[in-house]
Amino acid sequence: MAARQRLESWWRRTVAEEKPGPLGALAQGALLAGTLPFEAVTRLRDYFYRWEILPTLRLPVPVVSFGNLTAGGTGKTPAVIWCAEYLCAKGLKAGIASRGYNPDASGETGPNDEAQLIEERLADVPHVWNADRAQAGKALVKEHHCNVVILDDGFQHRRLHRTLDFVLVDALNPFGYGYMLPRGLLREPLSAIDRATGIIITRSNLVSRDELVKIRQRIWQIDENIKLAEAIHKPVGLFKAGDAREEVETLKGRKAYVFCGVGNPHSLMIMLSNLGVEITGIKSFPDHHVYTEEEIDGIFDEAASRRSDLVITTQKDRVKTGWREGSRVPLGELRVEFELVRGREAVEAALDFLAAGVLGSNGA
C-alpha cells in the first residue's frame, strides 16, 4: 500500500508539473508514450458505440447519469445524492447504480467508500453496486421495482443507454492538464463532451469569475450548443460522534489537522481556509484509500503533537475510519451538499420532464 501511495503521489506531481526539469520532462515523455495507445483504443471504442457496432442495453425506465471526463474527484457523489432526493420528492422511486470496489483488504467485493456514503445519506433509496452498471440497473428495476435509475460515474459506461447524461467538470482542474491518461487525467478526448446532455461546472465558487469564463468558452469551442450549469459543494455543518453537529461558522480561528483520501484534496483545503480554519497539518492519501489502524493512530498522534483543536476529514473518509471516540483529539466530519447556483432551471426542467413522463405512464 505504501508503494502504491508513493507511486500515485509521484505520478500526480509529474503530470501537474508545468515546467519540469530534465528528469521530469523525461518522465512526462514516457507517460505521453503510454497515452498514445490508450487514446487510440478509447477512440476506437467510441466509434464502435456511435455506430452501434457494440450493443447498448435499454432499460424499461429512464436512466440519469452523472460522470466526468477526468480521473479523480469532480464531486459526482454529492450530485447523485441531490438528484436522488430531487426525484424522490417528485414521487419517483429512484435507485442508484454504482461500481463496486473492495472496501477492505479482504478481497471481497462490496461497496466502496462512496457507496457507503450514499447508503448513509439515502438509507431508503435502493443502491446496487456492480462493475457492470447494466446489470446493476436491471437489478434495480427487477428486484427493487425502481422507475428511474441514477448512474454514479457512468459517462464512460456506454453499454447502458441513458436518458440524461450529465458531465461534471471540476473548476479547479477542468481539463486534466490537457492530456489523456497516463500523461494527464483525461479518460477520453475532450470531444466526448458532445455526447452529454449538459455540463455542470463544480466547485465554481473556488475559482475566479474570469477563470469560469475561460472554462465556459473552452467547452463551447468543443460544442457550441451544449447547456452549461454551475454548482458548488456547500459546507453545511461539522458533524461529530453521537450525531452532534456544529455550524460551520464555529470553525473560524480553530486549529485543525486535516486528512483525506479523495480525488481532489486541494478543494477541501481551500474550503477550510475560506471558513477561517487554521490548518496545523495535512495528510493526503490516494482516492479510495483503505486506512490501517497504524495510519489512523499516526494521524491523531500528529494532530495532538501539533496542538490541534480537532481533526477534520470528509464524510467519504469518515465512513471508513469511524468516529474514533476516545481519541485525544476529537474528529469532525465536514459535510457538504451539492447546490446548483447557475443554470439550475435548465437542469431541474430536464428532470421534471423525465419525472412527468414516468408518472404519466404509471397513470399517476
The tens digit of pLDDT for each residue in 33-85 reads 999 999 999 999 999 999 999 999 999 999 999 999 999 788 899 999 999 99
- In the DSSP assignment, the letter for residue 190 is G
24 in Cβ contact with 12 (< 8 Å): no
With cut-offs at 50, 70 and 90, classify the pLDDT of residue 105: very low
Tell me what pLDDT residue 1 has: 54
Domain 234-337, what architecture?
3-Layer(aba) Sandwich (3.40)
Q: Which residue has the higher pLDDT, 112 or 168?
A: 168
Tell me what pLDDT residue 108 has: 53
Question: Which residues in 47-79 are b (16+ Cβ under 10 Å) and which e?
Answer: eeeeeeeeeeeebebbbbbbbbbbbbbbbbbbb
Tell me what pLDDT residue 327 has: 87
Residues of the chain with CATH 3.40.50.300: 63-233+339-361
Chain segment 172-206, per-residue pLDDT in tens: 999 999 999 999 999 999 999 999 999 999 999 99
Q: Is the pLDDT of residue 363 over 90?
A: no
- The alpha carbons of the chain give a radius of gyration, in whole angstroms, of 21
Tell me what pLDDT residue 86 has: 98
Q: Which residue has the higher pLDDT, 80 or 104?
A: 80
For the chain, give the mean pLDDT: 93
Taking the CA atoms of 89, 239, 79 and 62 in sequence, report the sign of the dihedral they define: negative
The pTM (predicted TM-score) of the whole model is 0.94
Class (C level, CATH) for 63-233+339-361: alpha beta
Tell me what pLDDT residue 99 has: 83
